Structure 1
Amino acid sequence: MAFHHHTGNRANNIDNGYKNLMNLRPYDLLNEKNSPAFYLSRPKIRAIYTIFNSVDITDDVHIKYFHEPKVQSHPLDLNEGFEKFIFRTNYTSMQLLSKVQKYVIEAKENVLQPNIGLNTKTSSVKEQSKQNIKRKVILCQRGVLSSIMIIPYRLKASNYNNTIFYATKYCGILHMSDTSWVDKRSKNDTYHLKFMQCCFSDDPDLEPNTNEPVDQNNTEYSVFHTLLKEYDLIYSGETGGIISEHKIDDVHDLNEVNKCRFIMTKLLWSRQRGEDVLNHPKCLHWWLQAYLGNVSDICIGLKDNDGVVRSPVQVRACKDLAINRCWKPHICVRFLYNVIKLVEETMDHVNCPYTTYEFMYDSFQRCIKFKIHLGKTEHSFLNEEYIKHCKERTSFEKE
């Protein structure tokens, strides 16, 4: 095992009503020989949506096309248009998992029960043996997965390294959600979206339009599906754009969309200019986002203290992020798997759409701890339409 843990009645009471779930020991966590390496299957996009004003989820999607900005002749002043910047309406806990819930409700197949539908008369022995490992569904956000996966390399005691996520178990389905999203509103907090506007266009043949106000309330999200051992992970994440000379005729033709070469954008301060930017401490977080979002490339801009990108942007392959680093991808994947199993074991007896378990990684105590919010509270995050659908589409019986 990569950790020592306490569950059920054996859990230790610690501060603020939390119980200790898992003690983290660096040697055990980072020991590469603990078990054979395993990975996620390649994530596939199952739905794409546009979110307006944090609430309205629509199918009116406009995939963005990447245009490498020519900084050499025109430095990018990321302050331009700040006075017209439209800040995001804060998300509530009920809205964070809304994209995934919408996908589940509207999907033609019953994604909540992946074990249903195997015909034992026509299936091969190999297929049937796979089915003997009962698949389990987890609905969540990409940010929850990446924040768990990064923990083995965020063991230093600091508030920055602490993280919280919530979990609800209903009809045998484990749901995990982030904390409520409160956006910062300084000028520096707008620079990345302005940089994105400089890099992406609605058409591969048209240059980006940087004169329109940047609207943080208009965002594309994808719902992804991947496999991690016996788990089906279905999660949402923001979509950047694609590298393509041709426009996609139908953005809802997911066979075509999944063939696309996706790219994401990132900003660093220009004081890193003399170094290999891929050595930056944020590199692991970028790799996790790319890995979970099936993103193949990253465009990195270096901003100076005045918020201006003066040096050429760097377009790099995301696979290069993981080469010769002090961190190992399979360590992150193994830790995610172990945490999911432990969360599931801890909530084994739970079957309520409102009761929420709050899990916290505490870097000061070097542990993961939890406390329970019983019944409907401000932390409950499943909507009523989904709850009804979940009950109808699952044949859940507690064993």
Structure 2
Amino acid sequence: MQPELYTHVNNYTKAFPRFSRPQVLGYIGLENLKFARQLQSKRVHFDLNLHIDKCIHRPPDLDVKLTELLRFLLENEKRLNFCLETNLDNSKFFCYRGLMTCLALTPYENKDPWKIVVILFKGNIYLCARDTEESIRRKKNMTEHEKKCSSWGYKFEQFVLSDKPHLEPNPNIPVDENEEFSLVFTTKLNIHTIVYGAEMDGIHCDLTSVPTPPEPEAGPEAVVQYLSNAHFVELKTSRHIEFPRQETSFRRFKTKKWWCQSFLAGIDTILCGYRNDEGIVEELKTFQLRDLVKMSERFWNPNVCFNFLDDFFTYVKRCLAREIKHKCGEQGLNNLQTLPMISLLLEWSPGNPVRVTGAYNNDDDPILPNWFCDDYGKNRDI
């Protein structure tokens, strides 16, 4: 029987774990890189309904799995030249930032369960979130107002971001919600090495003079160097706060997610557009990451979030070790490159520990598709 992982806040209040500042390994969708100028707290009038009737919406049921990250790993395998790990202690985790944020907030979550697939393949561990029954039902039952609020978030970015460092934003065109720019980071959380993709909003141009990025023809190393030196900003929208209970809700729930997302991407500045119920942003306010922690210390603690995240990665390795010994014997623990694909399904719901609920059939609903499994490992320096 596989072990369980308990999630109570009191288990994770020790000192903040060792966490190295995220390092940029690469990028996805460079053509969609954006820039933000004149970020300051001020009054504005941004109508987020502008051209909403011509907006290209992102499908609410879009199942991204790990597709873009896997393509990146395949295309950059020779450049990155990751070691071929033979034991679980050194295995790298591959995932998206959204999954890490969800995990880090688990000790404080009292409503939404989650489901995560764990796959061990050629010495690496892949983590992918899957829909729960609750999340499927929520997507199906989204109200028109909820759909509009989602589109407003994309439109707000258009009012603040431009295509070049020296250009002004141009919100007078319809939004394509499918356009994304992402960075791929690596970091270490105690002994765990993690490689993860994170969608980024834009480069903050107020801090230093920002040159135009190198053309792709300059090569990935030149572009990575440029992006590594850039200061990115996170953009958010929120309903105007008018009553004390709204302020309490903001500090209890929103700030910890904003902090976690930004911290994992090495972002220090968040710009929030406060809007009314008609989708008009009337105020901009900037937050520094340290401010979010200070204003919300009554409600959540960053130490809890990252100590749980660290324990979760340890738990995954422990569960995989038991599965390897069960299927392949003790010798399999030091010969990961020779093992067949091993997969587990982890599930959690509020009030319960994290549990392994079974194996995951990658053939029925592939997290690692054939085009990746067949080719990854062939394009590297030996």
Q: TM-score over 0.5 for the alignment?
A: yes
Q: Residue 309 of structure 1: which of 268, 276, 281 is its match?
A: 281
1:361 positional shift: 1.9
Match of 1:381 in 2: 367
In 1, Cα distance between equivalents of 2:124 and 2:364? 21
Shift of 1:69: 8.2
For 1:272 and 1:233, the matched residues in 2 are separated by: 40
Instruction: Determine which of 286, 289, 292 is the counterpart of 1:318.
Output: 289
CA contact (8 A) 1:69 1:198 kept: no
1:198 aligns with 2:159: yes
Query: Runs of 5+ in structure 2 lacking a partner?
Result: 328-338
1:25, 1:318 → 2: CA distance? 25
Kept in 2, the 8 Å contact 1:38–1:330? The answer is yes
1:323 Cα deviation from its structure 2 partner: 2.3
- Determine helix, strand or coil for the equivalent of 1:222: strand
Partner of 2:333: none
**SS of the residue 1:60 aligns to:** helix
Aligned equivalent of 2:271 = 299
Task: Give the structure, 1 or 2, with the largest relative contact order (CA under 8 Å, sep 6 or more).
Answer: 2
Of 224-233 and 377-386, more deviation after overlay is shown by 377-386
C-alpha distance in structure 2 between counterparts of 1:306 and 1:88, whole Å: 21
Contact 1:242 1:261 in 2 (8 A): yes
Alignment of 1:84-123 (within 5 A): 84-89=54-59, 93=63, 95-107=64-76, 108-113=78-83
For residue 76 of structure 1, the aligned residue among 46, 66, 72 is 46
1:42 to 21, 28, 34: 21
> Does the Cα contact within 8 Å between 1:76 and 1:308 map onto a contact in 2?
yes
**Which structure has the highest helix share of the two?**
2
* Aligned mates of 1:102, 1:329 — CA distance in 2: 32
**Residue 357 of structure 1 pairs with residue 344 of structure 2:** yes
Larger deviation: 256-265 or 367-376? 367-376
- Contact 1:136–1:230, Cα closer than 8 Å, also in 2: no
Matched, 1:345 2:318: yes
Q: Which amino acid aligns with 1:363?
A: P
- CA distance in 2: counterparts of 1:383 and 1:90, whole angstroms: 22
CA distance in 2, matches of 1:113, 1:393: 13
Moved more, 226-235 or 176-185: 176-185
TM-score (normalizing by structure 1): 0.76
Q: Output the amino acid matched with 1:187.
A: K
Deviations 1:300-323 (A, max 9, x none): 11111111112x300121232222
Count how many residue pairs are aligned between Structure 1 and Structure 2.
342
Picking from 19, 24, 31, the partner of 1:60 is: 31
Establish whether residue 329 from structure 1 lines up as the match of residue 302 from structure 2: yes
Partners of 2:18 and 2:228 in 1: how far apart?
A: 19
After superposition, the C-alpha distances for 1:241-282 in whole angstroms (9 at most, x for unaligned) are: 011143333175212211111101111110358759973521
Checking the alignment, whether the CA contact within 8 Å between 1:112 and 1:137 is kept in structure 2 is: no
Instruction: Report the Cα offset of residue 38 of structure 1.
Output: 1.7
Q: Percent identity?
A: 19
1:329: Cα distance to partner? 1.8
* SS, match of residue 21 in structure 1: coil
Measured against aligned partners, the alpha-carbon deviations of 1:163-212 in whole angstroms (never above 9, x if no partner) come to: 22221111221100122697667212211111111110112322211111
1:17 is matched with: none
SS, match of residue 181 in structure 2: strand
Alpha-carbon distance between aligned partners in 2 of 1:84 and 1:200, rounded to the nearest angstrom? 19
Give CA-to-partner distance per residue, 1:145-173, whole Å, 9 cap, x none.
1111111222x3x2x3x222221111221
2:275–2:281 CA contact under 8 A, matched in 1? yes
Instruction: Note if 1:370 corresponds to 2:353.
Output: no
Q: Which amino acid aligns with 1:257?
A: L
Partner SS, residue 237 of structure 1: strand
1:60-110, Cα deviation, whole Å (9 max, x unpaired): 3433334448963x51111221111111146765x4212322222222345
Q: Corresponding residue for 2:237?
A: 267
Distance 2:24 2:260 in 1: 16
Distance 1:79 1:70 in 2: 22
> What TM-score results when the alignment is normalised by the length of structure 2?
0.79
Q: Do the aligned partners of 1:67 and 1:201 also contact (CA within 8 Å) in 2?
A: no
